[in-house]
Amino acid sequence: MERNTIKITLPTTKFEVEVYSYITGGEKRQITEIITSGMSSDISGTVKGDIPLTVVYKANDKALELLVKSVARNTEEVLSSISNLPATDYDILLERINAITNNSDYEEKKTN
């Protein structure tokens, strides 16, 4: 089944980025596994301490890898293209991706 996509025009470069409109259960699990791998807990399961920033960066990279279909119509080396964006464009794109990963009904709510 082909997922719907959303096109985002980045303000600095004016690149059009095509992203999937929702995250699948399997994709969400992959990101959650990265985040929980960086957590420690006591015997009762209570989380102790903070999640290391390196784990957050890995989770962000995975979300970008899974949800960005193309950058400026280029479907090859998407993460590399994203890494080379100006920081303002990167931050806006990551904010949109986080909105999608944190809410699987993003597309439906956005269109209603």
DSSP string, 41-106: E-TT--EESPPPHHHHHHHHHHHHHHHEEEETTB-SSHHHHHHTS-HHHHHHHHHHHHHHHT-TTH
pLDDT tens-digit readout, 44-94: 767 677 777 888 899 999 999 999 999 999 999 999 999 999 999 999 999
pLDDT tens-digit readout, 2-19: 899 999 999 999 999 999
Residues whose CB is less than 8 angstroms from the CB of residue 29 and which lie 6 or more positions away in sequence, other chains included: none
